[in-house]
Structure 1
């Protein structure tokens, strides 16, 4: 068997980005031939990537990009399995490049990002050893101009507005904090309103008050509900004495649209018992 030097292992590790022991084993199997060892690792790493794809990736990042003229913005969510990997510089760079691509190319959906992006994703999976997925993106072409806000790497916001710079920043910050579902009350779907009306009516009827009082209670409750889930009706994050709508009016500003992404929202995370996992590993060994 050919002697496997540390420098050879290091070279293969730099070529593949895989672990030292994996590289050493591949070199031994290939008789010290670094080319054959790299091929072996590609085969084995491909199997690892396939296995990783079955694991839940509920952590991750949101990356953003706004064009220099402020007219086009994009948010991209890239998921991974652990918060540790979510801080990986290569993952962050991958997300940033995707956001720039979405802004520039306006793909129809994630699958339209192309084969080269998929190759980069697979290479990242092989190098990092976790399932990594491009879950979704939002692209906005502004009627006014775009302000963006990233809360760490977990929440990303774009707002299309007209007015002072400070208003755009404040709007984006507010959206990250309040996470409104609609722009204004009129956008709230009728079925959402009726479902809430039924709940409020049942609750008000239990009070035993006259029908006309119950009706007023229900309407008051609906008014509060639609205000809380609609951006313009929400209390402004920097001054809860006024709504976002009133803040905009006072600033002579206008909001056209908003988009936001929260990492992992809607993904069912698998509960894990770390102690049990360790005990299981010890028992298996």
Structure 2
């Protein structure tokens, strides 16, 4: 199995390790972001999934290119299939989630809140009588605070965002316009590929001039919920979850066998790892309409990444 477990490269400056990405800040104000194959859940690394980093980087690349006319993004170049060189941004403290359906499982999801009897949420009023996984009258934005310190995200209304000075009124209007336009484009393209883009998360930052820039990733299986279009109608009538690209195989397996917040994680079976890799690859191919071509040049993925990033070495 060709796995990029980590990408610690001593010749690159200003190293920062994220849960699944290795980051290096360059003197010119750009950032090297290397997507490894690590999979994270429960605030810890569970295992590595072959080609996951390449799949996510290339899926995001597809969408950044498909939406470049809507809003600026952080991408400068792609020196390697697992690597993006991006503008270094100040990330805005509001996480933007756009939802087109009454779905979700987290405490901040609109389905969870709706089932508790809430109808007013995120500054929006939803009508009575909606069913699980029903399409909303129109897509909505459900912003949350972005917990940089490891705390929990909290629901916000547009008024609260401005009152708490998380964003200016002008910034909120710009983010809203960008997010809804990106989601509309995403749903239109997904529909052509037999998919429903149900909901998605966007992250924005500002550059040195204060311009709002789309960052991180866009419309990937890790940041978005996709349903298979042909399964939706029958599933909705049966009140069952539509078929999807489920990235939670590993997470569900772990939960069945231990308390992942307290216990040691059992060794993940190789078959489960490979099945999850296949899900990511199938997701890439259906989302983009392209065939996934793994880059197996060089002896290892890390050797290939190092070779492609040599122009950025500082000798540090």
Give the structure-2-normalised TM-score: 0.25
Structure with more strand by fraction: 2
From the CA coordinates, give the structure whose radius of gyration is larger. Answer: 1
Q: Which has the higher contact order (CA 8 A, sep 6+)?
A: 2
Give the structure-1-normalised TM-score: 0.27
